[in-house]
Structure 1
Amino acid sequence: MNQIAFVTGANKGIGLETARQLGNAGWKVLLGARNTQLGREAAAELRSQGLDVEFLQIDMTDKQSIEQAAGIIQTDYPALTLLINNAGMPGAFSRSFSDTKETDLRNAFEVNFFGTFRLNQLLLPLIRSNEGTIVNVSTDMASLHFMQSSEYALNAFDYNASKTAGNAMTVAMAIECSKTNAQVFAVTPGFTKTDLNGNAEGGKSKEAGAAIIVGYATDGKRHNGEFLDVDGVYGW
């Protein structure tokens, strides 16, 4: 039986490529997406390539939807050993603290932090019992070190703050896993052309970004509590 992975936000972009690469590596993939039609189409696309992929509806802004998806996994896929929290949203991608609107900040946190928190809290016991892995997909701009030291840092406070909070969640979860064989860590794929940033020029391809995530998720090494980029451990 193939190992089972659940990837959220996987109907397009880095999430879809992550699901594709896991499938090509022999994993059974549960492809999570909010939009049922788009999720089913994405899963069908990957199945047409001979991959073992099933669609699982999950709306990261909807507590009931998250609980339902987690319940399906616990009942139908209890052998799950990999959760990749890829789903995310930019808020308004504000350009400064002063320009940030509270509504946009709350919207970013709802998906990037609270929705991910709910799913992680529901599935962490299963991952721990299966000695599996949770990867929280992060961003360079979640790093306070990067934001203070880089001239290339984008001061998008709504998005960045929600992802920095996600990094704190990663550390808290990793502490709980420190005396087990399960692990939780964060990965930033770096600047990648996606719909989130309007497919901005200069970013790496979705395939390259996904390869960084999949590489760390499946390399068999112990990364518990780490924040990783393409070159290795990244500064918090």
Structure 2
Amino acid sequence: MNRTAFVTGANKGIGFEIARQLGEAGWKVLLGARSIERGEAAASELRNQGLNAEFVQIDMTDKESIEEAAGSIRANYADLTLLINNAGMPGAFSSSFSATQEADLRNAFEVNFFGTFRLNQQLFPLIQKNEGTIVNVSTDMASLHFMQSSAYALNAFDYNASKTSNNAMTVAMAMECKNSTAQVFAVTPGFTKTDLNGNAEGGKSKADGAAIIVGYATDGLRHNGEFLDVNGVYAW
């Protein structure tokens, strides 16, 4: 059985680890990245490890780039059964609502929401046809419950709001999968050391964060419409 996955933001960080772990599990992995040089280097590194990996250029801020990447996938990888929307950016990681600048809010939404929305709309029909899975990578701080109840919540409104909107998209997509075997769900890897947060101390490794996402994406269980963390269903 052919198993092909597309992972965005896969030239480094959690995305690269997701791609590596899927490859080690026998998947053909398409690594999505904006930089051709970095994307090709990442795919080459996985191939040198004996894994089946190819690079797909995609700029999540560019509508035409997204359409071209999706068109290439539909034409050349029609067996796609897994899409992991990992690409993201922090905006300015604002410290509060009052400190948030509109430009930073728009930048965060452009990748974390609009770019992901465009790609999902392009590939959702193929995933549905192939009875596959879409995972929208989320964050604890996308949870309104977490933001209201946790002493560890970071009030980065630009980043958090874009990811909360992504969660709403997850629910909307999952509603269309209720009567099919295709599924869409969200996963937060939890606090992980990545470039997005300056590789902050105290977070889990990129490999450990990726393993949470890959685990749910490949466990064969029905997670449609769920928001999951390492312990299971997470409050919206």
Q: What is the TM-score with the length of structure 1 in the denominator?
A: 1.00
**Structure 2 residue 158 is the aligned partner of structure 1 residue 162:** no
The aligned amino acid for 1:209 is G
The aligned amino acid for 2:15 is G
**Which residue is 1:24 aligned to?**
24
Question: What do the CA deviations read for 1:12-44 (whole angstroms, capped 9, x no partner)?
Answer: 000000000000000000000001100000000
Aligned residues: 236
Cα displacement (A) at 1:105: 0.1
The aligned amino acid for 2:7 is V
The 8 Å contact of residues 22 and 214 in structure 2, kept in 1 or not, is answered as yes
Question: What do the CA deviations read for 1:171-201 (whole angstroms, capped 9, x no partner)?
Answer: 0000001110000000000000000000000
The whole-number CA distance in structure 2 between the counterparts of 1:43 and 1:76 is 17
**Which residue is 2:211 aligned to?**
211
**Which residue is 1:68 aligned to?**
68
**Which residue is 2:132 aligned to?**
132
**Structure 2 residue 14 is the aligned partner of structure 1 residue 10:** no
The whole-number CA distance in structure 2 between the counterparts of 1:208 and 1:51 is 20
**Which residue is 1:116 aligned to?**
116
The whole-number CA distance in structure 2 between the counterparts of 1:46 and 1:155 is 37
The 8 Å contact of residues 3 and 28 in structure 1, kept in 2 or not, is answered as yes
The whole-number CA distance in structure 1 between the counterparts of 2:59 and 2:199 is 23
SS of equivalent to 2:74: helix
Question: What do the CA deviations read for 1:45-80 (whole angstroms, capped 9, x no partner)?
Answer: 000000000000000000000000000011000010
Q: What is the TM-score with the length of structure 2 in the denominator?
A: 1.00
**Which residue is 2:101 aligned to?**
101
The 8 Å contact of residues 2 and 26 in structure 1, kept in 2 or not, is answered as no
The aligned amino acid for 1:152 is Y
Question: What do the CA deviations read for 1:194-235 (whole angstroms, capped 9, x no partner)?
Answer: 000000000000000000000000000000000000000000
**Which residue is 1:52 aligned to?**
52
The aligned amino acid for 2:227 is F
**Which residue is 1:171 aligned to?**
171
SS of equivalent to 1:111: helix
Uncovered stretches (5+) of structure 1, i.e. residues with no partner: none
> Which runs of 4 or more aligned residues in structure 1 lie more than 6 Å from their structure 2 counterparts after TM superposition?
none
SS of equivalent to 1:177: coil
The whole-number CA distance in structure 2 between the counterparts of 1:79 and 1:47 is 20
The aligned amino acid for 2:59 is D
The whole-number CA distance in structure 2 between the counterparts of 1:141 and 1:102 is 19
The whole-number CA distance in structure 1 between the counterparts of 2:175 and 2:53 is 32
SS of equivalent to 1:221: coil
The aligned amino acid for 2:107 is N
The whole-number CA distance in structure 1 between the counterparts of 2:213 and 2:34 is 21
**Which residue is 2:222 aligned to?**
222
Cα displacement (A) at 1:2: 3.4
RMSD of aligned residue pairs (Cα, Å): 0.5
Cα displacement (A) at 1:85: 0.1
The whole-number CA distance in structure 1 between the counterparts of 2:52 and 2:173 is 29
The 8 Å contact of residues 89 and 196 in structure 2, kept in 1 or not, is answered as yes
The whole-number CA distance in structure 2 between the counterparts of 1:89 and 1:2 is 32
Uncovered stretches (5+) of structure 2, i.e. residues with no partner: none
The whole-number CA distance in structure 1 between the counterparts of 2:12 and 2:125 is 28
Percent identical across equivalent pairs?
81
The 8 Å contact of residues 2 and 79 in structure 2, kept in 1 or not, is answered as no
Question: What do the CA deviations read for 1:82-104 (whole angstroms, capped 9, x no partner)?
Answer: 00000000000000000000000
